[in-house]
Each structure stands twice: as structure tokens, then as C-alpha cells.
């Protein structure tokens, strides 16, 4: 933990030092073609949750978890000979989490491997905007690594503005190729599932998806976006350390189908009412072939007393119908082909509410010109099955 804290501190200082340098002037066409620094962002958040339906202990037991997340990103831009704008985004994220339920994978140990883990996730993205043609191209790659999980992602995207430039069609294709270690609960490790040291058997989980979107400017105050995804997941879609207790009290590892097709659709709107108030709204309908349906609706009014300061309370309501493979502790029987006691897949409703604060004074935060904006956001989440969590996030923008 000490090492992680020092690493984060060093990264903070490094990022601040690099981007505190004077921005080159861009008053000539020649200089515009040079790669220039656009902005950097530092996002830190602390998440804490508790509940009493952990999937690791079969739908009963503590869900206590904390996650300290930090990410550093920066953006460089250049204009090419054809006056197309290229943006390069690089990001490095580091999460450190502790999970009480993960400690119950191995009930005999004082502390199992997943009790305290670090996730590292770098990503790189490139975007090219051709303003003349109203065309945007992009591509990106990402990775994510933690003790029992390795993931590689890639994506390509294209967007084209309509003739009158009031609308824009977008399409994105993405894939994640994941590999997970099959860490079974201690009492179920037999044969090939007995690890040799940290050498566990592995399984693949692949995600292939496409996103289609349409943005439309309605008038000078209102714009909307309609977005739909088609996502296919294949491979090992359960988690090997999720226990399921049958009605005869026998214990098993969660078993789910090796394919899942998700088809969510959403609409988002932003409306500037008067001079000091913005309404942001969002609705999503979700369904998949595991029998799950869900509705999400959120509203966030943004109060802007000045152009450089805003306060935004928010509220999000979510309702989900359980997957057909879910049943709580000791409700499944041997007649079930697939079974899980993961309450994240159960029927519930949730409320998420809180507020955000944003400051972006023209002279910079505390008079430091390079510190362009500061955002602070807090949210409380409560689920109808008694899971509660809190999250606080800080975002610093350096320009």
C-alpha cells in the first residue's frame, strides 16, 4: 500500500511537472502542425460498499469492499497538412481494492490472494477530425491486469455529420479478449483445479460489440443523442469462486451459459434553460438473452451562477428483473442446468444520488493558470436488497 501511495504521488508530481511547461504559441500555420499539449486529467476516487449477499459465500455474508482508484490521462493534438485535427489520448489507471468476501475463497487462510489486489489499466486512443468533410475516425487499444484477470481491448470508430451539420451518425466496433484464472473455492479444488503455487488453470472470456449512435441538435438550447449497443460475450461468463448452495446444502461453483447477447438502447438529452440552468437527462432500456430486463433513468440539473462555477445535484433510478438463472441461498436444485446466487443478477431497484461541484476560473484554480478546472463529486448508492455504497471523486484538469 505504501509503495502504491508513493507511486501515485510520484506520478502526480511527474504529470504536474511535465505539463507546467509553457504552451507553445500556435499563431502560425507551421506551428499548428506541431504536436501540442491540449490537457491532462487526474481523477482520484474512493469507493466503499457494504451488504450481506456476497456471491462468494453463496448469496449470504459480507460484501464489504473498498476501492481506491487513480487515473492519469493526457491529450496531445496536431493539425496535419490537410488541416485535419489529430488527437492522441493516453491513460494509465491504478486501482487498489480490498474485499472481505474475497477472503472467503480460501476459508482456512488468514488472507487469500484476492483479499487485497491492484488493477492496472493503460489505454491509448487516436482520433482524426476532418472538419471540412464532417468526418471523424478513431482507434484505440487498452489492457487491464489484476491478480486473477488479464484483459486486452481494441476499438475502431467513425462518425459522419449530416449535410446541415445539425446531426451526426456514429459507429464503433470493439472487442475485449480476456483471460481469467480459475480460482475455485478451497473446498471444491480437486484434480486439475488444484493450483501449483500461483499457477492456476485458466479460461477465456471474449466480448465483441458494436455501438450505433445518432446525435441531433434540436435548437440553440437542446441536443439529444440516441445510442444502441449489440454486445456478444462468449466463454467463461461466471466466476469460479462464486459458490452456490443447493437446497440439499451441497456446495457448487456458479454455472452460467457460455454465451450472452446484450442489446441496450438509450436516449440522452441536454437542455440549456435560461442562462444559469442546464438539465441533463438519460434513459436506458436493457435486455439480454439470459432473461434480464432493466430500466435506468437519471436527471442532473446543473446550476451555473457564473460561467466558471457550477453545482449539479443528480438522481438516478434503476430497476432490474433477475436473470432466469438466479436463485438465492439454498434455493437451487440439482435439476437446474445453470445456477447462480450472485445478487448483482437478482431482481432489485436502486437509487443513486449526490452532487457535484465544478470550478474553472479563467485565471486558473487558486491563481495557478495551468490548473484549469477542479471537480468534486459525491454519490450515495442504495439497493433494495440492502447493499449500500458511497463514492467520492476528484478531477483536476491541467491545461
Partner 1 sequence: MQNSFRLTNYFTNLTSPVRLLITAGFIFICLSSCTTVKEYQKNKLNDSEMILSNRKIEKTELSFLSYREGASGANAGKSGGGCGCN
CA distance 109 to 131: 60
Contacting partner 1 within 106-165 (CB under 8 A): 114, 119, 121, 142, 144, 146, 148-149, 151-153, 164
For the chain, helix (H) and strand (E) counts, in that order, are 2, 19
Contacting partner 1 within 159-198 (CB under 8 A): 164, 166, 174, 176, 178, 180
H or E element, residue 19: helix 2-19
- Classified as helix, coil or strand, 5 is helix
- Say how many residues make up the chain: 399
Query: How many residues bind partner 1, per CB under 8 A?
Result: 102
Give me the least distance between CB of 284 and partner 1, in Å please: 5
Q: Which residue lies nearer to partner 1 by CB, 33 or 147?
A: 147
Residue range at the interface with partner 1 (CB under 8 A); choices 77-85, 192-200, 233-241, 328-336? 233-241
What is each CA distance from 24 to 34, 90, 129, 374, in whole angstroms? 9, 20, 22, 24
Q: Which residue lies nearer to partner 1 by CB, 65 or 371?
A: 65
- Judged by CB under 8 A, the residue of 159, 345, 371, 398 near partner 1 is 345
352 binding partner 1? (CB under 8 A): yes
Q: Which residue lies nearer to partner 1 by CB, 336 or 349?
A: 349
Q: Which residue lies nearer to partner 1 by CB, 216 or 336?
A: 216
234 binding partner 1? (CB under 8 A): no
H or E element, residue 3: helix 2-19
CA distance 225 to 159: 13
CA distance 383 to 193: 35
Contacting partner 1 within 356-385 (CB under 8 A): 356, 358, 360, 375, 377, 379, 381, 383
Residue range at the interface with partner 1 (CB under 8 A); choices 6-14, 64-72, 130-138, 191-199? 64-72
The dihedrals phi and psi of 5, each to the nearest 5 degrees, come to -60, -45
Q: What's the DSSP call for residue 199? A: B
Give me the least distance between CB of 58 and partner 1, in Å please: 15
Number of Cβ within a 10 Å radius of residue 380 = 12
> Which three cell numbers mark 306?
457564473
Number of Cβ within a 10 Å radius of residue 141 = 13
- Judged by CB under 8 A, the residue of 4, 60, 294, 365 near partner 1 is 294
> Which three cell numbers mark 4?
502504491
Give me the least distance between CB of 297 and partner 1, in Å please: 8
Q: Which residue lies nearer to partner 1 by CB, 320 or 341?
A: 320
Q: Which residue lies nearer to partner 1 by CB, 33 or 331?
A: 331
Residue range at the interface with partner 1 (CB under 8 A); choices 14-22, 248-256, 309-317, 327-335? 309-317
With a CB cutoff of 8 Å and minimum separation 6, the contacts of 249 are 330
Amino acid at each position: 500500500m505504501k509503495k502504491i501511495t508513493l507511486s501515485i504521488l510520484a506520478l502526480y508530481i511527474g504529470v504536474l511537472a511535465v505539463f507546467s511547461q509553457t504552451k507553445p504559441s500556435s499563431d502560425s500555420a507551421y506551428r499548428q502542425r506541431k504536436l501540442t499539449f491540449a490537457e491532462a486529467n487526474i481523477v482520484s476516487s474512493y469507493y466503499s460498499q457494504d451488504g450481506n449477499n456476497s456471491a462468494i459465500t453463496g448469496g449470504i455474508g459480507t460484501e464489504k469492499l473498498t476501492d481506491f482508484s487513480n487515473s492519469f490521462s493526457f491529450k496531445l493534438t496536431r493539425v496535419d497538412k490537410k488541416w485535419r485535427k489529430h488527437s492522441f489520448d493516453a491513460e494509465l489507471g491504478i486501482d487498489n481494492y480490498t474485499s472481505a468476501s474475497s477472503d472467503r475463497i480460501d476459508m482456512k487462510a488468514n488472507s487469500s490472494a484476492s483479499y487485497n489486489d491492484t488493477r492496472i489499466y493503460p489505454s491509448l486512443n487516436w482520433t482524426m477530425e476532418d472538419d471540412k468533410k464532417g468526418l471523424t475516425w478513431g482507434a484505440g487499444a487498452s489492457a487491464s491486469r489484476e491478480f486473477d484477470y488479464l484483459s486486452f481491448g481494441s476499438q475502431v470508430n467513425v462518425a459522419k455529420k449530416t449535410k446541415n451539420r445539425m446531426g451526426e451518425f456514429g459507429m464503433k466496433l470493439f472487442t475485449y479478449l480476456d483471460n481469467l484464472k480459475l480460482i475455485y473455492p478451497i473446498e471444491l479444488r480437486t484434480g486439475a483445479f488444484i493450483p501449483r503455487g500461483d499457477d492456476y488453470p485458466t479460461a477465456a472470456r471474449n466480448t465483441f460489440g458494436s455501438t450505433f449512435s445518432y446525435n441531433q441538435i434540436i435548437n440553440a438550447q437542446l441536443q439529444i443523442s440516441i445510442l444502441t449497443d449489440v454486445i456478444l460475450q462468449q466463454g467463461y461468463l461466471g466466476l469460479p469462486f462464486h459458490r452456490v448452495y443447493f437446497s440439499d446444502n451441497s456446495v457448487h461453483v456458479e454455472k452460467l451459459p457460455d454465451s450472452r447477447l446484450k442489446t441496450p438502447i438509450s436516449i440522452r438529452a441536454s437542455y440549456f434553460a435560461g442562462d444559469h440552468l442546464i438539465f441533463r437527462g438519460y434513459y436506458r432500456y436493457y435486455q439480454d438473452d439470459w432473461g434480464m430486463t432493466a430500466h435506468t433513468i437519471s436527471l442532473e440539473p446543473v446550476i451555473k451562477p457564473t460561467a466558471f462555477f457550477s453545482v449539479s445535484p443528480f438522481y438516478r433510478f434503476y430497476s432490474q428483473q433477475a436473470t432466469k438463472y438466479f436463485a438465492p441461498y439454498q434455493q437451487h436444485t440439482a435439476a437446474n442446468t445453470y445456477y447462480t446466487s450472485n445478487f448483482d443478477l437478482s431482481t432489485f431497484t436502486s437509487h443513486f444520488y449526490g452532487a457535484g461541484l465544478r470550478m474553472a476560473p479563467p485565471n486558473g484554480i487558486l491563481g495557478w493558470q495551468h490548473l484549469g478546472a477542479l471537480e468534486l463529486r459525491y454519490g450515495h448508492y442504495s439497493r433494495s436488497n440492502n447493499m449500500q455504497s458511497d463514492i467520492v471523486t476528484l478531477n483536476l484538469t491541467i491545461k
